[in-house]
Amino acid sequence: MTVEEFEEFYAQAVARLTGQLYVMTGDLQEAQDVVQEAFVKAWVRRGRLERDGQPEAWIRTVAWRLAVSRWRFRRRSADAWGRGHGGAEHVAPPDPDHVVLVDALRELPAQQRRTLTLHYLCDLTVEQIAGETGLSTSTIKTHLVRGRAALAHRLRDPRIEEAPDV
């Protein structure tokens, strides 16, 4: 991939990848950071990205792994801080301005959230998701079914009464 091709690829993919990682992580700033860092890593290997055939999938996977690593680091730091200072302080609930869907996605287990994002937002097939995540297709299908069910329950409007079964 030439410099010009990489720049064109970046221009076409950065917003889409940032949106996908935002849905996966629930944090826009974090999504922007990990996508940028993944593109920096991709720059070094841009010659191999084209041969691999799926540069966007590679960057999305690297960005996801970076996000997980950062989360683990923050978690360990918070745990260590809590041990040294008598416990964690109360964390305020999410800002009410957040989109309802993002809040519902945040309540899902990370792997379900990632699988739903890859399937519905990235438009990947079950087989493509399995290839990108290293999970089996049956596990991907299970995550999709459980994730959809959990979202349906969380996104149900309580003001609308369900019709009784006849």
Task: Evaluate whether 134 touches 40 at the Cβ level (below 8 Å).
Answer: no
Predicted confidence at residue 143, as pLDDT, reads 93
User: CB of 9 within 8 A of CB of 54?
Assistant: no
Q: What burial class does residue 19 get, using C-beta atoms within 10 Å of its C-beta: 0-12 exposed, 13-18 middle, 19+ buried?
A: middle
Residue range 58-105, pLDDT digits in tens: 888 889 888 888 888 777 776 666 666 555 566 666 555 456 777 788
φ and ψ of 13, to 5 deg: -105, -20
Mean of the per-residue pLDDT values of the chain: 81
Give the whole-number percent of the chain exceeding pLDDT 70: 80
| Cα distance from N-terminal residue to C-terminal residue, the chain | 62
28-37, 91-100, 110-119, 135-144: segment of lowest average pLDDT: 91-100
pLDDT band at 107 (very low <50, low <70, confident <90, very high): confident
Task: Report DSSP letters for 110-135, one per residue.
Answer: HHHHHHHIIIIIS---HHHHHHHH--
